[in-house]
Structure 1
Amino acid sequence: MHIKHRLTPPYTPQCNPLERANRVLKTMIAQNIKKSQKTWDLYLPELQFVFNTAPSTSTGFTPAYLNCGREFHVPESLAHETALASNRKHQHRIESIQAALELAQNVIASNFQKQQGHYNLRRRKWAPEIGEKVL
């Protein structure tokens, strides 16, 4: 599966993408609880569905498609799907996932370049002179 375990520095939530996902989820819960704060957990399945089917601005794809290779359907339409699929469909799905992942990596790289350009607009090049006091 080529899964790489990556560690983040302790006490630095900005390095952990899961913290950003948690922030979005907390906002979604806060907007949906309305008056009763005791029933927030009843909304979790719907919020999870919304979160997994919303396209990411970084990749251009939904998390459902990048992780599962297909878009999720509304729960009522799941009963109409067939459970069996042919090997060709599986092979086509694998190839489309690989193409989508490659495209997502390219989109992330181009977005990184854009963000780097915005960041570098305010940056000044500085190098200390010999004998200059620095903090």
Structure 2
Amino acid sequence: MNTPNCYHVCNVRKTRTTSYHPEGNGLVERTNCTIYDILLAFTKNGHQHEWDAHLPFYLLAYRGTTHSSTGFTPHYLWTGRDFRLPADLRYPLLSPDQTTPQIFATKLHEVIRSAHNAARVTLGNASLHQKQHFDRHTAGNAFQIGDLVMQYYPIPPCCTSAKVHYPCG
């Protein structure tokens, strides 16, 4: 099967963005900013030199947290089921399904589709709410060409090294 047919069968829309240029993909830029904020929150207490050892745990926390915009965890939207942590392996699932792989795949497809539809509705509502919040604090610019303006250069927050500073504003 050639690649374009595979995309069509899997209902995948291929997009192209420039490598090492996150500004070309807003979702990647926003995710990088969120990961930066998580790293900043967890490394404030003098653990700056070991952040990379703890990164998998930070990502676990991120993927298992319900997002206010979607109403679901990223893990649930990706897999169609809740997290199973190592502690959960000690106890069996409440209702083990003894089904064929085809029935399981059909049920999983329906669960993921319904979760994506619900997330789409929630995202629409969140978008309206965010727009209303943005519009409340927005005023038109009264600048003309040639006016003098002041540019703000923020100082990196306390307890962060210069290597970690990334402007996420």
Normalising by structure 2, we get a TM-score of 0.58
Read off the aligned partner of 2:66 and give its amino acid letter.
P
Aligned-CA RMSD value:
3.3
The answer to which structure, 1 or 2, has the higher relative contact order (CA under 8 A, 6+ apart) is 2
Read off the aligned partner of 1:18 and give its amino acid letter.
V
Q: 2:125 aligns with which of 94, 110, 113?
A: 110
Aligned equivalents of 1:18 and 1:81: distance in 2? 37
Read off the aligned partner of 1:76 and give its amino acid letter.
A
The structure 1 segments of at least 4 consecutive aligned residues displaced by more than 6 Å after TM superposition are none
Q: 2:31 aligns with which of 5, 10, 21?
A: 21
Identity percentage over the alignment? 23
Aligned equivalents of 1:18 and 1:29: distance in 2? 16
Change beyond 3 A, Cα 1:47–1:112: same
Aligned equivalents of 1:120 and 1:98: distance in 2? 33
Partner of 2:114: 99
Q: Is the 8 A contact 2:22 2:29 kept in 1?
A: no
- Gap regions ≥5 residues in structure 1: 125-133
Aligned equivalents of 2:65 and 2:79: distance in 1? 14
- Gap regions ≥5 residues in structure 2: 1-9, 146-169
**Number of aligned pairs?**
126
Structure holding more helix per residue = 1
Question: Shift of the alpha carbon at 1:97?
Answer: 1.0
> Residue 86 of structure 1 aligns to a residue in which SS?
coil
Normalising by structure 1, we get a TM-score of 0.70
